[in-house]
Amino acid sequence: ATKYRPFVAVDLPDRQWPSRRIETPPQWCAVDLRDGNQALIDPMDQERKQRLFDLLVKIGFKQIEVGFPSASQTDFDFVRSLIEEDKVPDDVRIQVLTQARPHLIDRTFEALKGAKNAIVHVYNATDPVFRRVVFNVDKPECIQIAVDATTLIREHMTAAPETHWTFQYSPELFSTTEMDFAVEIVDAVEAAFGATAESPMIVNLPATVECATPNNYADQVEWFCRHIRHRDHLIVSVHPHNDRGTGVAAAELAVMGGADRVEGCLFGNGERTGNVDLVTLAMNLYTQGVHPGLDFSNITPIMREVEYCNQLPVHPRHPYVGDLVFTAFSGSHQDAIKKGMAARREAENDFWEVPYLPIDPLDVGRSYEAVIRVNSQSGKGGISYLLEQEHGIELPRRLSIEFSQVVQEVADRLGKEITSQMIYQAFVDEYLDQH
Ligand code: KIV
Ligand code: ZN
């Protein structure tokens, strides 16, 4: 049961509406410890990595990309400590990234020795500019690099049957690769690995640099799903970056277009403008009545822990979670919220129908006290709400109008936000005294 009604536009009688909706959550993979980490000014040390890993587990992530062990000694040591100190729950798969180069693949498997569950994620760039300018390879050579890497990875996996392995391939820069070539290379990789419907591989389709409107990416993912030889041998994953600021929309549309899985970071950390923000994605599902399977019911400690690990602040207007998102400064908003809260107390159902607040702050562990703040722009609604809720003083309408003028004068004089304690003090000092 959910208190959020899925949004339906009721006034489009000539349209089937909504055209599509996400009914079940995708698989989630958190890449904070790899893509997120490689974009930090001050990359995480072991302690910060471990704290973020533990947090991701606690939130409910079952697939976590923990590093790039063949490229970084810190990541290698971190993977070893996770395995040797038995820090990975049985139902969590750790994922590691490697380039499609033999010595790096060998080193990756060294890092993973003794793991219970692991995803080996290999990538090579498939986009034409990278083929021509960066690597100087033609299409067949590009396919050969991917196939050779896959064959070597299969050999390593076969040689270590004590680990439950999953294989993942990313055609890096998928969204700027010719689509028929993306299909051709993934078909070749899938055949080389020998994926089956019972034992599928993950194919991850990155928008490494987001450079088109999000519907375009979703169209590419949908086209890919239709044209790939064995769709049922694949778990199709998306990996949107946020260069145009539309990473969340891209991921949502891509899931509607057929993707099964989403890779991203908490609060949108990641290269340049970030990876897609998994908190917003999850909460968007939640407010449409679909439980995301991730627990953000106490968001503030999560946000503070991530700020510590990344050494980066979360924006105060970040959707659902920022410090300012459950505040209303304007009088008309405060008044409408107050009426909505009162109506909710009287209502017989549990639906959330409070104006201006898209969700109940309590659902992310935020308190009602923070909902209404008062400054010189506020009207009587917020002022009497705070007086009533926090100090048990209920003013009749005429007095409430008079008193709000007193508070506004105080706010104007001080030029800053007024706390409920200051409102109470103003009531005692400046109002009661004179009446
Ligand atoms: O953005 C990207 O293309 C990546 C790949 C390595 C998956 O992070
Ligand atoms: Zn990335």
Residue range 315-339, pLDDT digits in tens: 999 999 999 999 888 878 888 998 9
What is the 29 CA–ligand 1 centroid distance (Å)?
13
Q: Which residues of 10-30 are buried (b: 16+ CB within 10 A; e: fewer)?
A: eeeeeeeeeeeebeebbbbbb
Which ligand 1 atom sits nearest the alpha carbon of residue 241?
1
Q: How do residues 200-242 score in pLDDT, each as one tens digit?
A: 999 999 999 999 999 999 999 999 999 999 999 999 999 999 9
Q: Which of 184, 196, 267, 260 is nearest to 222 (CA)?
A: 260
What is the 139 CA–ligand 2 centroid distance (Å)?
22
Q: How do residues 14-58 score in pLDDT, each as one tens digit?
A: 766 667 889 999 999 999 999 999 999 999 999 999 999 999 999
Distance separating alpha carbons of residues 55 and 57, to the nearest angstrom: 5
Q: How do residues 389-420 score in pLDDT, each as one tens digit?
A: 788 898 888 888 888 888 888 888 888 878 88
List binding-site positions for Mg(2+).
35, 239, 241, 275
247 touches ligand 1 (CB under 6 Å): no
Reply yes or no on whether the pLDDT at 300 is more than 90: yes
Residue 7 pLDDT grade (very low, low, confident, very high; cuts 50, 70, 90): confident
Q: How do residues 108-141 score in pLDDT, each as one tens digit?
A: 999 999 999 999 999 999 999 999 999 999 999 9
210 touches ligand 1 (CB under 6 Å): no
- State percent of the chain over pLDDT 70: 95
Which residue lies with its CA nearest to atom 3 of ligand 1?
A: 208
Structure tokens at 164: 């439950």
**Residue whose entry in the numeric block shows the structure tokens 């139902």:** 91
What is the 171 CA–ligand 2 centroid distance (Å)?
11
Give pLDDT, residue 16.
65
Q: How do residues 177-206 score in pLDDT, each as one tens digit?
A: 999 999 999 999 999 999 999 999 999 999
287 touches ligand 1 (CB under 6 Å): no
Reply yes or no on whether the pLDDT at 377 is more than 80: no
E-strand spans in 259-349? 261-264
Residue 327 CB neighbours (<10 A) = 18
Q: Which of 312, 394, 328 is nearest to 361 (CA)?
A: 328
Predicted interface score ipTM higher than 0.95: yes
Give pLDDT, residue 245.
98
Q: Which residues surround ligand 2, an ion (CB under 5 A)?
A: 35
Reply yes or no on whether the pLDDT at 434 is more than 90: no
Give pLDDT, residue 246.
98
Kindly list the distances between the CA atom of residue 171 and the CA atoms of 131, 247, 266, 387, in Å, as whole numbers in the listed order. Answer: 12, 18, 23, 59
Residue 370 pLDDT grade (very low, low, confident, very high; cuts 50, 70, 90): very low
108 touches ligand 1 (CB under 6 Å): no
What are the φ/ψ torsions at residue 20 (nearest 5 degrees)? -150, 160
Pocket test for ligand 1, best of 35, 95, 168, 204 (most atoms within 8 A of CB): 35
Which residue lies with its CA nearest to atom 4 of ligand 1?
A: 208
Reply yes or no on whether the pLDDT at 369 is more than 60: no
Give pLDDT, residue 407.
87
Q: Residue 139, class by beta-carbon neighbours within 10 Å (0-12 exposed, 13-18 middle, 19+ buried)?
A: middle
208 touches ligand 1 (CB under 6 Å): yes
Give pLDDT, residue 413.
87
